[in-house]
A and B are shown apart, each in its own frame.
Chain A
C-alpha cells in the first residue's frame, strides 16, 4: 500500500502518493490547487509562453486517481483554475477530458482565491462543503475538523523537498496537485502556526511518507 491512512475527527482518510485525499467511507476524492490554465495566464500577462501541457498532465494524473478509487464524489478544493479567464480558455480536448472524468459522479468546485466565481464546466460551485465530520474549504480558518489547500506545503526529507500534506488532530492542509505549482516549506511560520506540536507531514511521490513536523 503506497498511501498513508489516518483518522481525522472520526473520519477515515488516506493520503495518496499523488497528493489526492481519499475518504473511503464517503467515497470522496479531494484534490486541491490544480491551477489549470496557468500557462495560458502567464502568456496572457507576461508574454512568456510556457509548455502548454500542464492541463493535460494534471488531468491525466487525476484520471489515474479516479480510475483507482472510483469515487462517488470529487472535490476540487479551490484554485482549480489559475484564473477565471484561464478556465474559459481551456481547449476542446481538455474540456472533453474533464467531462469524461465528471461523468457518473458528483463534482464540486470549491471557490479559491484564484477562481472566485462559477465556471462553465459542469459540477457544482460552492464556497465550502461538509463531508462526514469534516468541512472542506480553500483557506484554513480557526475551525477544527477542516480540510483546506491554498498554501502548497512542501517538506524536506533526506535532502529532498516534495509536496506534502500537513496533518494534526484538527486539520489537514493539502499539497498542490497541479503540474505547474511551486510550494512553501511546511516549517515556514505561515504554515507551521496553523498546526499543533504533534503535526505530521506526509510527503507525496513514489509512496506517501509520513514524518513528524518537528
Chain B
C-alpha cells in the first residue's frame, strides 16, 4: 500500500517553484510509493521520468545521515549514465544536498574504479556489464551492504536482450547482499507493461505499474521530396536536399538510421551537399570514444544543428532542444519508431515532430504502414522466452569469482529472477556442471576442472587466477569481433570495423569511417591502419551493422496494403511501381507464397516473398537451398530481407511448389539445424557468453593467427561427438526463437496453407530488384560452390600455363 501523500521537504518545493515547475502526478506517485519493493513507471520521453526515479533517493539522502551507497542507477548506455550525472548535479547543487554522484562504466579510469569500490558514492550510475563486474569482486558484500534503491532506466530496451537477463541475475545477488533493496524500473511506452513488471520484481513480489500521461499525439509525416526515392538501396541520397532544408528550419534535428553503415554514407553525402556549412555531427557505436564524446558535448552546448545517428542515440539521453526527429529508412518496428519520435521536443505536453524518409520504394510502403500503425497506437512486440542458460552459466562463473558459494543458495537466488522462475534444479545443475567440468559426455578434465567443490560442499575456482580471465569476458553484448581503425602514425583510433569487413579489404581500398574517407594501408598488430584519402567516393561502401527484423504486425499491414486495387495513400511513383509489379508478375498476397523465377547476370534466380521478417526469411533461404542442393539445382547463395529471399544458382527452378511442402521443410529444418552457418553464429554467441570462448585475452593478440581457430570447428566437433551437450541445446533453443525464427516460417505456412504461386519470367521484376543491392549475401558450400572453385582454380592455373590437376 502506498503511504499517504508524501510531502516534499521544503527545499525541494522551493527548488521546483524556483524553476517554475510543478511536481508531475507520476513524480508524486513515485514518492508516495517509495517503499514498495518494486515499482514500474511508464512515461513518455520528456515527462520528467528520470527525476521521478531519483526524487525519492534525493529526499532520503537530503539529511546527510546515510553512509555509503544508497542508490544504484543502471542504464543500457554509458552515455546515458554520463548524461544523468550531468542532469542530477543541477538539483543537488542548487539545493546544496549532501549527495555524491558518480558514474562507472567501461570508460571509467582504473584508479577511479578502485576508489569507488573502497569508498562508494551515494548514487552510482552504471551499466549492466559494469554491475556484473562489480558483483564478481570479493568485496562486493561490503560495497553493497547499505544499498537501498536500484533504478533501472530504459528497462524496455534491456528487456529485449540478454543484457536484461544478466542485470536481473545481478540484482538477485544484490538483494541477498542488501535485503531491503527496493527496485524501480523506468520505461518508455511498451505494448505489454506487466511483462516488464514481472521481469523487474523479485519473484513473487508484486510490482505496481504507474502510467504517466502519454502527452499529445506526435506530429509525424513523410518527408516531401522533389525527387522520388530509388528502386533499391538504403542511402536515401535523393532526400538530402529536403533533409538539409528541414534541418535549416529547425533548431536541432536528430537523423536516425537503422545501421551504422547507412549513417556513415548518409553523413558523408549530407556533408558534400551542405553548402551552408551547417554544423552537423555523426554519432554511432563504432566510433572511438573521444569522437563520440566530442559530439555529445557539442550537442549539449547547442553547437550542432543536426546529428546523424543510430541506436546509440535511441535511448532517453537528454540532448537538449531537439525539435525534429528524422527517421531514414523504414523503422521496421512501430514501438521503436514511437520511442525515437519521443526524442523530439522535451517540453512536456508539446507534440513531438518527426519525419519519415524511406530509402527506396519498398520502404515507402513500409513507412506508410508504420505511420498508420502509430496513429492506431498499434505497438508490436513478441513475448520473451525463459531466461537463457548461457547467461546463467556466466552468472555462475561470476559468483565463483566473488568467492566460494553453495549451489543451493545460488539456485534459490536465481529462481527469484522473473525470467528464471521456471528453471528446474536439473537445468541449473547442468549449467553448474558445464562451468565446473565442461559438461562433456567424455569426462576428460578431471585434473583441470574450472570449479572444484571444497570439503564443506562449496564451489570455488580451481585456479584463482582464472578470475581475471572471467572478468575480462563479462557481458552479453553480441558484437562481432571488431578491429580498431587508426590513422598511420597516429595513436588515437578513429573507430572500429568488424573483423569480417577488414578481411575483405585490400591495400588501396577506400571506405568511410566517422564521416571521412580513408584508404586501407594494412593490418598491424590487429589494428587497421589507414591514411586520409581525398577521393570523393569511397570504393567500398562500408562495414555492416545490426539489422532489425520487421515485426509481424508491420508485415501484415503491408500485405493488406498490397491487396488494394489502387494506392491513393502512396506517392505516385510508388503506386506506379506496385502497379508495374502487378502487371508483369503478381503482388504478394496474405494467403499465398509468391515465387518468381528468372535468369539474371548468368545465374538462375528465384525470389520468394514470404513476409516473415529478416531472420525467418534467412532461415527459409537456408532450407530452400538445402532442398535445391538435394535436387541438384546447384544453388550458390542467397540474400534475405524482411519480405523476401533471393536465391541464385547454376540451374533453373521449373516448379517451385515442391520446395514448400511443410513436412519436408520441417524435416529439413531438423537436419539443417545441426550443420548450418546461422547455428554456428548462434553457437558462437552462446559459447562466448557461457565462457567456452574467450573474446578478450590477458595479453594483446599478436598478428600471427595460428594460435586462434574458428569457433565453427568447436561447433562441428560437438555436433559430431557430443550432440546433446548443453551448448548445443542452448544454441538450438536460441536459434529457434532468434536468428532462426522458425516460428515465423510456421506462421507463414499456416497463413498460406502452403499455396504457392510460381511465376516464371525472363527478367528481374520490380519487386525483386531491391534484393540485388542488399548486403549480407550468404554463399553456400555445396556442389555448385565446389564447381565454381574448381573452375576458378583451373582458370587461374591456365593463365600461368600450369596443369590444374
Q: Are A and B physically bound partners?
A: yes
Interfacial residues, chain A to chain B (CB-CB below 8 A): 1, 4-5, 39-40, 43-44, 46-54, 56-57, 89, 91, 151-152, 157-160, 176, 179-185, 190, 198, 200, 203, 206-212, 214
Q: Which of A39, A54, A210 contacts B804 (CB 8 A)?
A: A210
How far, in angstroms, from A11 to B447 measured CA to CA in the complex?
A: 46
Q: With an 8 A cutoff between CB atoms, is B700 at the interface?
A: no
List 15 additional contacts besides A54-B717, A158-B789, A183-B706; criterion CB under 8 Å: A1-B805, A5-B805, A47-B463, A49-B438, A49-B445, A51-B722, A53-B442, A53-B722, A57-B717, A89-B447, A158-B792, A179-B713, A184-B706, A210-B805, A212-B802
How far, in angstroms, from A54 to B722 measured CA to CA in the complex?
A: 12
Contact in complex: B438, A210 (CB < 8 Å): no
How far, in angstroms, from A30 to B694 measured CA to CA in the complex?
A: 33
Contact in complex: A184, B705 (CB < 8 Å): yes
Given contacts A47-B450, A51-B718, A207-B786, contact A180 B713 (CB under 8 A): yes
What B residues does A152 contact at CB under 8 A? 706
How far, in angstroms, from A54 to B145 measured CA to CA in the complex?
A: 47
How far, in angstroms, from A159 to B781 measured CA to CA in the complex?
A: 11
How far, in angstroms, from A179 to B720 measured CA to CA in the complex?
A: 13
How far, in angstroms, from A184 to B788 measured CA to CA in the complex?
A: 24
Contact in complex: A52, B793 (CB < 8 Å): no
CB proximity of A60 to chain B, nearest CB, Å: 10
Contact in complex: A176, B706 (CB < 8 Å): yes
Contact in complex: B692, A50 (CB < 8 Å): yes
Contact in complex: B706, A209 (CB < 8 Å): no
Contact in complex: B466, A46 (CB < 8 Å): yes
How far, in angstroms, from A39 to B438 measured CA to CA in the complex?
A: 11
What A residues does B785 contact at CB under 8 A? 158, 160
Contact in complex: B789, A160 (CB < 8 Å): yes
What A residues does B779 contact at CB under 8 A? 159-160
What A residues does B461 contact at CB under 8 A? 47
10 tightest Cβ-Cβ pairs between the two chains A and B: A49-B438, A52-B444, A182-B709, A43-B448, A47-B466, A53-B721, A152-B706, A209-B793, A47-B450, A182-B708
Contact in complex: B704, A210 (CB < 8 Å): no
Q: With an 8 A cutoff between CB atoms, is B536 at the interface?
A: no
Contact in complex: A47, B469 (CB < 8 Å): yes
Q: Which of B693, B717, B796 contacts A53 (CB 8 A)?
A: B717
Say whether chain A's binding surface is mostly helix, strand, loop, or mixed: loop
Contact in complex: B450, A179 (CB < 8 Å): no
Indicate the member of A47, A51, A185, A190 with the most B CB atoms within 10 Å: A51
Q: With an 8 A cutoff between CB atoms, is B707 at the interface?
A: yes
CB proximity of A74 to chain B, nearest CB, Å: 23
CB proximity of B409 to chain A, nearest CB, Å: 23
What B residues does A49 contact at CB under 8 A? 437-438, 440, 444-445, 448-450, 692
Q: With an 8 A cutoff between CB atoms, is B710 at the interface?
A: yes
What A residues does B805 contact at CB under 8 A? 1, 4-5, 208, 210
Interfacial residues, chain B to chain A (CB-CB below 8 A): 437-438, 440, 442, 444-445, 447-450, 461-463, 466, 469, 691-694, 704-710, 713-714, 717-718, 720-722, 725, 779, 781, 785-786, 788-790, 792-793, 796-797, 799-800, 802, 804-805
What B residues does A182 contact at CB under 8 A? 705-710
Contact in complex: B802, A40 (CB < 8 Å): no
Contact in complex: B714, A48 (CB < 8 Å): no
What A residues does B781 contact at CB under 8 A? 160
Q: Which of B694, B725, B800 contacts A51 (CB 8 A)?
A: B725
CB proximity of A166 to chain B, nearest CB, Å: 14
How far, in angstroms, from A69 to B613 measured CA to CA in the complex?
A: 51
What A residues does B448 contact at CB under 8 A? 40, 43-44, 47, 49
CB proximity of A182 to chain B, nearest CB, Å: 4
A-B contact pairs, 19 of them (CB 8 A): A1-B805, A47-B461, A47-B462, A48-B693, A49-B692, A51-B438, A51-B714, A51-B722, A52-B440, A52-B444, A53-B721, A57-B721, A157-B793, A158-B789, A180-B709, A206-B786, A210-B804, A210-B805, A212-B802
Q: Which of B437, B713, B789 contacts A157 (CB 8 A)?
A: B789
Q: Which of A40, A46, A208, A209 contacts B444 (CB 8 A)?
A: A40
Contact in complex: A48, B789 (CB < 8 Å): no
Contact in complex: B792, A157 (CB < 8 Å): yes
Contact in complex: A212, B796 (CB < 8 Å): yes
CB proximity of B786 to chain A, nearest CB, Å: 6
Contact in complex: B717, A51 (CB < 8 Å): yes
CB proximity of A44 to chain B, nearest CB, Å: 5
Which chain B residue shows the least CB distance to A47? B466
How far, in angstroms, from A4 to B718 measured CA to CA in the complex?
A: 31
What B residues does A190 contact at CB under 8 A? 704
Contact in complex: A151, B450 (CB < 8 Å): no
Q: Which of A40, A46, A207, A212 contacts B797 (CB 8 A)?
A: A212
Which chain A residue shows the least CB distance to B792? A158
How far, in angstroms, from A182 to B706 measured CA to CA in the complex?
A: 5
Contact in complex: B444, A39 (CB < 8 Å): yes
CB proximity of B470 to chain A, nearest CB, Å: 8
CB proximity of A151 to chain B, nearest CB, Å: 7
What B residues does A43 contact at CB under 8 A? 438, 445, 448, 450
Q: Which of A89, A160, A212 contacts B800 (CB 8 A)?
A: A212
Contact in complex: A50, B792 (CB < 8 Å): no
What A residues does B450 contact at CB under 8 A? 43, 47-49
Given contacts A1-B805, A210-B802, contact A181 B709 (CB under 8 A): yes
What A residues does B462 contact at CB under 8 A? 47
What A residues does B691 contact at CB under 8 A? 48
Which chain B residue shows the least CB distance to A208? B805
How far, in angstroms, from A1 to B786 measured CA to CA in the complex?
A: 15
CB proximity of A71 to chain B, nearest CB, Å: 22
What B residues does A5 contact at CB under 8 A? 805
How far, in angstroms, from A190 to B447 measured CA to CA in the complex?
A: 37
Contact in complex: A212, B799 (CB < 8 Å): yes
What B residues does A179 contact at CB under 8 A? 713, 717
How far, in angstroms, from A182 to B714 measured CA to CA in the complex?
A: 12
Indicate the member of B448, B799, B804 with the most A CB atoms within 10 Å: B448
What B residues does A52 contact at CB under 8 A? 438, 440, 442, 444-445
How far, in angstroms, from A50 to B437 measured CA to CA in the complex?
A: 10
What A residues does B720 contact at CB under 8 A? 53, 57
What B residues does A212 contact at CB under 8 A? 796-797, 799-800, 802
CB proximity of B491 to chain A, nearest CB, Å: 24
How far, in angstroms, from A198 to B792 measured CA to CA in the complex?
A: 18
How far, in angstroms, from A207 to B786 measured CA to CA in the complex?
A: 9
CB proximity of A140 to chain B, nearest CB, Å: 14
How far, in angstroms, from A152 to B713 measured CA to CA in the complex?
A: 15
How far, in angstroms, from A1 to B805 measured CA to CA in the complex?
A: 9
Contact in complex: A211, B440 (CB < 8 Å): no
How far, in angstroms, from A203 to B438 measured CA to CA in the complex?
A: 34
What A residues does B444 contact at CB under 8 A? 39-40, 49, 52, 91
CB proximity of B524 to chain A, nearest CB, Å: 12
What B residues does A89 contact at CB under 8 A? 447
CB proximity of A56 to chain B, nearest CB, Å: 7
What B residues does A209 contact at CB under 8 A? 789-790, 793
Contact in complex: B714, A46 (CB < 8 Å): no
What A residues does B710 contact at CB under 8 A? 182
CB proximity of B312 to chain A, nearest CB, Å: 31
CB proximity of B430 to chain A, nearest CB, Å: 14
Contact in complex: A183, B705 (CB < 8 Å): yes
Which chain B residue shows the least CB distance to A39? B444
Indicate the member of A39, A151, A158, A198 with the most B CB atoms within 10 Å: A158
CB proximity of A87 to chain B, nearest CB, Å: 15
What A residues does B797 contact at CB under 8 A? 200, 210-212
What A residues does B722 contact at CB under 8 A? 51, 53
Which chain A residue shows the least CB distance to B470? A47
What B residues does A203 contact at CB under 8 A? 789, 793
Contact in complex: B706, A151 (CB < 8 Å): yes
What B residues does A40 contact at CB under 8 A? 444-445, 448
What B residues does A206 contact at CB under 8 A? 786
CB proximity of A93 to chain B, nearest CB, Å: 9
What A residues does B709 contact at CB under 8 A? 180-183
Which chain A residue shows the least CB distance to B469? A46
